[in-house]
């Protein structure tokens, strides 16, 4: 069920199902089962949609995220299945993702992770918009096909994207 939901979320968000189908994670324990929100974390920004849309790729680049998906309507952009290992930009990947742990070491810092981060910008008014950021990863320890796990967002990356957007919009 979790696999089906994540593939459906990826399709709904725009990434397509093929790379995720290749990364089909398994759930190792109920401890890490969490609900997926296909809209992502919501933020409100005081700026026109066009301006937010224009600066969003630079925010992604600053964070070490490659923009490999851009959909002008409905204003959705991001990275689909970016391969990361241990770090995203200058931060440990475990700052942003929970992939479980082994011997008190976060798996996010040890595993190869296929990371999906998508941001959608929706107009509320001429000068206000809502920004929805969705983050999900699929981790693999590289040792076996059964070592794959879902990596859930801790909310820190979504918050950082919002903060960086605010900084760029103010400047």
pLDDT of residue 8: 41
Model confidence at 141, pLDDT cuts 50, 70, 90, reads: confident
Model confidence at 22, pLDDT cuts 50, 70, 90, reads: very low
Give 159: exposed, middle or buried? Use CB within 10 Å, 0-12, 13-18, 19+.
middle
Taking only the tens place, the pLDDT of each residue in 82-106 is 999 999 999 999 999 999 988 888 9
Q: What are 149's strand-pairing partners?
A: 26, 139
Taking only the tens place, the pLDDT of each residue in 57-75 is 999 999 999 999 999 988 9
For residue 100, the 8-state DSSP code is -
The two most distant CA atoms of the chain are separated, in Å, by: 52
Strands 112-125 and 105-106 turn out to be: unpaired
Long-range contacts of 49-55 (CB under 8 A, 24+ apart): 49/75, 49/121, 49/122, 49/123, 49/129, 51/169, 52/121, 52/129, 52/131, 52/165, 52/169, 53/77, 53/121, 55/165, 55/168, 55/169
What value, to the nearest 5°, has the Cα angle with vertex 149 and ends 63 and 142? 85
**pLDDT reading at 23 higher than 90:** no
**pLDDT reading at 25 higher than 60:** no
Taking only the tens place, the pLDDT of each residue in 144-166 is 656 688 999 999 999 999 999 99
């Amino acid at each position: 069920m979790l696999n089906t939901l994540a593939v459906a979320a990826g399709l709904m968000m725009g990434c397509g199902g093929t790379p995720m189908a290749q990364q089909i994670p398994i759930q190792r324990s109920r401890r890490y089962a969490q609900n997926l929100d296909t809209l992502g974390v919501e933020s409100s920004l005081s700026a026109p949609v066009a301006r937010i849309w224009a600066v969003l790729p630079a925010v992604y680049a600053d964070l070490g995220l490659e923009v490999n998906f851009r959909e002008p309507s409905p204003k959705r952009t991001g990275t689909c299945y970016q391969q990361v290992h241990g770090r995203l930009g200058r931060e440990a990947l475990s700052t942003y993702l929970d992939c479980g742990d082994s011997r008190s070491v976060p798996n996010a810092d040890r595993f190869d992770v296929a990371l999906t981060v998508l941001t959608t910008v929706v107009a509320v008014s001429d000068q206000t918009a809502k920004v929805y950021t969705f983050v999900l990863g699929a981790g693999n320890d590289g040792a076996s096909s059964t070592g794959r796990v879902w990596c859930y967002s801790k909310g820190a990356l979504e918050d950082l994207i919002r903060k960086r957007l605010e900084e760029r919009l103010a400047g």
